[in-house]
Structure 1
């Protein structure tokens, strides 16, 4: 049976010409003239591929792609964005929204057909699994002990990445009973994580996880948890639930930061096995650096392989006249680079009093300058990875 392709474009002449061309190649064609109709037809017609324009009235192509990727029924469908938007940032936004390929108008019909065939070949060779489980890039953040600014960094790194890319960003607290974001940011509902952990693992769906995310006015979504001592043991007997909810969570965002806490967090091995990258936070004090060094040695045995990216960041939370230098810390940890984040006690207090993230209070302050630099590095690297996997040249290639 011939593959069915859904074409989405608000230009009727474009719909007609592409439709005729695809029909001559033996494909079944379904057409939608706007984003709303496209979403409806994606569910009712079950197309094998979607050729999607971007420049349409609300919802535009980016919104349509994100909507389809968020639903398990339509998430596996390959999406080829076919649009006149040719700037680099438009292509990045397309891939961030969920496009499998991106082609700019005008184009020779032979190239369009070739791209469609190649995309079908890729989808068939991979099966439905990878398309269904499309996931964002996941950065776990932890420290050898508590109180070193892990939660603050996880929240503000997510915020900085969103401000640079406008991608779908999620920041998640994974320490039941030790949540801080709800209180600091003024949210009254803080039971997202604990509610999911109380469900049967087999019952947790993508919709359940998304429903328990908290939207914010500063662009990112949060998975919050409580600050109740009674909830601190929730994870001990809920590792299967943790695995399922993280699996779904990672498909809901393009960039996800995890507040893992310390090595004593239940489910640590599962978390470490599922992240793409790990950041260890330490402070310029001898004992903290020593404990960080011990944790570095233990990580492979805790489920974090040496093949994954790992970085150490020094959070200088408290100004001190006597502390280790960056060079001393690098020597102690045998690390080439250990970025310093300066302490901003007064600004942190002001942000907490106003119930906003530090990065929202002072987006260009000395703390956020370092976090913004970190986020910019991720944005550049992930953009290059996306283009490299799609066959586009990058600045480093």
Structure 2
């Protein structure tokens, strides 16, 4: 199938391919191309990028998002020749990208190569029914106030689960403009993530999300948030973040969301996609009072005590603070684990862009996170 709003291009390319024995179908706009592709299931699609009603990039995304057309080979051909344009096309799902004016021999060679590859894949045997999609376990880490160690818990827990299971673990930073996952692990957020958050939520695909996931030296993967302070405006992209939260569990066995403090609209929007919550609390009387209010609001929003674990992070020895038993009594929930003070370890780990459990794998902090992870894995298994 050839898709181009230029009638002359449709005619010339169609004639060239017909002379080589191919049967041709044509569409002159994006919407019609999607309809025909679903109805006709073509062997290959030649797709122009610059069309008035819907760009070829958008057409490719929608075709890849539908099971009927997800595997149809796509060749994009366009006058847009910048590297960024090619990357955008390939990330949208194109298998090849040709720049106009395209030499007929080059276009024909690409068509033959992709058709041969598809033919070989189909001739290896009967096509088995697709395996059922497996959804990973999701954990949201949050707190009543900022600065109590949410990111520390999220990243160290991720590394510990990865170490214990060998499974894929993604940490998703859901705090645009204020998040610390990238900073703590030595990453900068990419423009691709910003583009993802600016597009229509319904058009976001797993493939696009996967392209924005980076791998840390520890083996965990991260989906970062825009990291400039002014980019807190992305908190308004609620539907985009909801869509990403829906797709992420199909990319990993475990997904840990760094939700930060309180219950902003983004956090409330993604709650339905989170299996359990870890509430991080500081042992100060004020934070315990704020955490009680947070737990009450979580319960009102449908997250009861059975989906909540309390993690006490004690950042300093001594001072005016409650004991773990006093906190349990105040919160009316058991403390899953107490993370004891380790300021020197925290400093050296941050400087090395490593979670503390890797900086000192046989230390007390690593033992405490192993206890937390084991409790989670016991129920998940």
TM class by shorter-chain length? 0.5 to 0.7
Aligned residue in 1 for 2:78: none
Larger radius of gyration: 2
Cα displacement string for residues 251-287 of structure 1 (whole angstroms, at most 9, x for unaligned residues): 0000111100112433121222210000101011101
Between stretches 196-205 and 134-143, larger displacement belongs to 196-205
Over 3 Å counting, the alpha-carbon distance change for 1:307 and 1:193 in structure 2 is farther
Deviation at 1:240, TM superposition (A): 1.6
Cα displacement string for residues 100-125 of structure 1 (whole angstroms, at most 9, x for unaligned residues): xxxxxxxxxxxxxxxxxxxxxxxxxx
Quote the Cα distance in structure 2 between the aligned partners of 1:43 and 1:143.
Answer: 54
CA contact (8 A) 1:330 1:338 kept: no
Aligned residue in 2 for 1:201: 201
Quote the Cα distance in structure 1 between the aligned partners of 2:244 and 2:126.
Answer: 27
| Matched ranges for 1:136-155 at <5 A | 136-155=136-155
Between stretches 330-339 and 188-197, larger displacement belongs to 188-197
Over 3 Å counting, the alpha-carbon distance change for 1:350 and 1:307 in structure 2 is closer
CA contact (8 A) 1:175 1:265 kept: no
Q: Which runs of 5+ in 1 are unaligned?
A: 1-36, 50-76, 79-130, 384-397
Deviation at 1:41, TM superposition (A): 4.2
Quote the Cα distance in structure 2 between the aligned partners of 1:205 and 1:361.
Answer: 36
Over 3 Å counting, the alpha-carbon distance change for 1:375 and 1:42 in structure 2 is farther
Selected match of 2:342 from 338, 341, 344: 344
Cα displacement string for residues 77-100 of structure 1 (whole angstroms, at most 9, x for unaligned residues): 23xxxxxxxxxxxxxxxxxxxxxx
Aligned residue in 1 for 2:380: 382
Aligned residue in 1 for 2:264: 265
Deviation at 1:220, TM superposition (A): 1.0
Cα displacement string for residues 187-246 of structure 1 (whole angstroms, at most 9, x for unaligned residues): 23455643321121122111100000011221110011233121102121x222112111
Aligned residue in 1 for 2:291: 292
| Matched ranges for 1:1-397 at <5 A | 41=121, 47-49=127-129, 77-78=130-131, 131-132=132-133, 134-190=134-190, 193-236=193-236, 238-301=237-300, 303-306=301-304, 308-383=306-381
Quote the Cα distance in structure 2 between the aligned partners of 1:46 and 1:243.
Answer: 37
TM-score (norm 2): 0.64
Q: Which runs of 5+ in 2 are unaligned?
A: 1-116
Between the two proteins, the alignment pairs up a number of residues equal to: 263
What is the root-mean-square deviation in Å for CA atoms of aligned residues?
2.2
Over 3 Å counting, the alpha-carbon distance change for 1:249 and 1:45 in structure 2 is farther
